[in-house]
């Protein structure tokens, strides 16, 4: 258990650093009000988690330590959107389209609303 926690932590730290550097580079070269860096990070993180899931299911069907380092840690630190994408992908693969669409809609509405509520509440702290 301790080894797994350390792998997740190390991967998360590296993913967070990569996210920061990616955001910094995108902001340096692409000045826009559109959140291009976040979109690119989320899309790339989703691509990475898909690649990692495919490779690990092919070569390491059991819980290999690299799964925790790269999928949970790195991709989780780089972007939580990759986990969201993976969960929806799995729902679609399991013919649970209604659940997937409800999850997508609820996630988008609730997370944007939560940002607004958090911003509002911060005025009272």
Annotated binding site for Na(+): 76, 79
Residue numbering of the annotated binding site: 76, 79
- Distance, in Å, from the CA atom of 117 to the CA atom of 115, rounded to the nearest integer, reads 6
Asked if residue 75 lies in contact with residue 85, where contact means CB atoms within 8 angstroms, the answer is: no
Torsion angle of C-alpha atoms 38, 42, 44, 49, degrees rounded to 10: 150
Find out whether 74 and 12 touch, Cβ atoms under 8 Å.
Answer: yes
Residues 27 and 92 sit within 8 Å (Cβ to Cβ): no
């Amino acid at each position: 258990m301790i080894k797994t926690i350390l792998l997740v932590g190390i991967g998360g730290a590296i993913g967070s650093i990569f996210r920061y550097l990616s955001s910094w580079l995108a902001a340096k070269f692409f000045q826009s009000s559109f959140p291009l860096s976040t979109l690119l990070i989320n899309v790339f993180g989703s691509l990475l988690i898909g690649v990692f899931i495919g490779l690990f299911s092919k070569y390491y069907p059991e819980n290999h330590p690299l799964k925790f380092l790269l999928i949970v840690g790195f991709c989780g630190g780089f972007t939580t959107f990759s986990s969201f994408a993976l969960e929806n992908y799995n729902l679609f693969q399991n013919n649970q389209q209604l659940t997937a669409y409800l999850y997508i809609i609820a996630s988008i509405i609730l997370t944007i609303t939560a940002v607004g509520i958090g911003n509002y509440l911060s005025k009272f702290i």
